Amino acid sequence: MRSAQALICLLLSGAASVAGQDCSTVAFDIPATSQNAVFTSPPNPNNETDVIQFMLAAFRGTPPPTSGTTAVSGTFTIMGTYCVPSNQTASKNVLQVLVHGITYGKDYWAGLGFADEFNWHLAANARGYATLAIDRLGHGENPQRPDPLAVVQPQMHVEVLHQLIAAVRTQSPLSPPSVLGRAYDKVVWVGHSYGSFLGSTIARQFPADADAMVLMGFSTTENFTDVLTAAWTAAAHHAPADGNLPTGYLTLASEAGRAAVFYAGEFDPALPPLDFAREDTITDGEGAAIPVLLEPAPGFTKPVFVATGAQDVFFCNFGSVAECETKLAKSRPDFFPDVSEANFGIFAPDKTGHDIHLHFSAPRTYAAVHDFLDAKL
Ligand SMILES: *[C@@H]1O[C@H](CO)[C@@H](O)[C@H](O)[C@H]1NC(C)=O
Ligand SMILES: *[C@@H]1O[C@H](CO)[C@@H](O)[C@H](O)[C@H]1NC(C)=O
Ligand SMILES: *[C@@H]1O[C@H](CO)[C@@H](O)[C@H](O)[C@H]1NC(C)=O
Which ligand 1 atom sits closest to the C-alpha of 47?
1
**Domains of the chain, residue spans:** 5-376
Confidence at residue 176, expressed as pLDDT on a 0 to 100 scale: 61
Measured in angstroms, how far is the CA atom of residue 125 from the centroid of ligand 2?
12
How many angstroms separate the most distant Cα atoms in the chain? 57
Radius of gyration of the chain (CA): 19
* Band (273; pLDDT cuts 50, 70, 90): very high
- pLDDT tens, 313-363? 999 987 899 999 999 999 999 999 999 999 999 999 999 999 999 999 999
Average pLDDT for 286-298: 98
Average pLDDT for 274-293: 97
pLDDT surpasses 80 at 376: yes
- Nearest-10 Cα torsion for 26, 93, 99, 114: -70
- pLDDT tens, 187-239? 999 999 999 999 999 999 999 999 999 999 999 999 999 999 999 999 999 88
pLDDT surpasses 50 at 10: no
Measured in angstroms, how far is the CA atom of residue 42 from the centroid of ligand 1?
13
Q: What angle do CA 294, 295, 301 make, to 5 degrees?
A: 125
Which ligand 3 atom sits closest to the C-alpha of 223?
1
Which ligand 1 atom sits closest to the C-alpha of 43?
5
Contact 135, 78 (CB under 8 A): yes
Q: Whose CA is nearest to atom 12 of ligand 1?
A: 47
Is pLDDT larger for residue 88 or for residue 34?
A: 34
Which conformational region is residue 266 in: left (phi greater than 0), alpha (psi within -120 to 50 degrees), or beta? beta
Measured in angstroms, how far is the CA atom of residue 230 from the centroid of ligand 3?
14
Question: Model pTM?
Answer: 0.94
| Mean pLDDT over each residue of the chain, to the nearest integer | 93
* Band (175; pLDDT cuts 50, 70, 90): low
Confidence at residue 251, expressed as pLDDT on a 0 to 100 scale: 97
Q: Return the SS3 of 38.
A: strand
C-alpha span between 112 and 198 (Å, rounded): 22
pLDDT surpasses 50 at 9: no
**Pocket around ligand 1 at a 6 A CB cut-off:** 47, 49-50, 53
- CATH superfamily, with its number, for domain 5-376: Alpha/Beta hydrolase fold, catalytic domain (3.40.50.1820)
Confidence at residue 240, expressed as pLDDT on a 0 to 100 scale: 79
229 lines ligand 3 (CB under 6 A): no
Contact 278, 255 (CB under 8 A): no
Q: Whose CA is nearest to atom 4 of ligand 1?
A: 50
DSSP readout, 345-360? EEE--TTB-SSGGGST
Confidence at residue 60, expressed as pLDDT on a 0 to 100 scale: 96
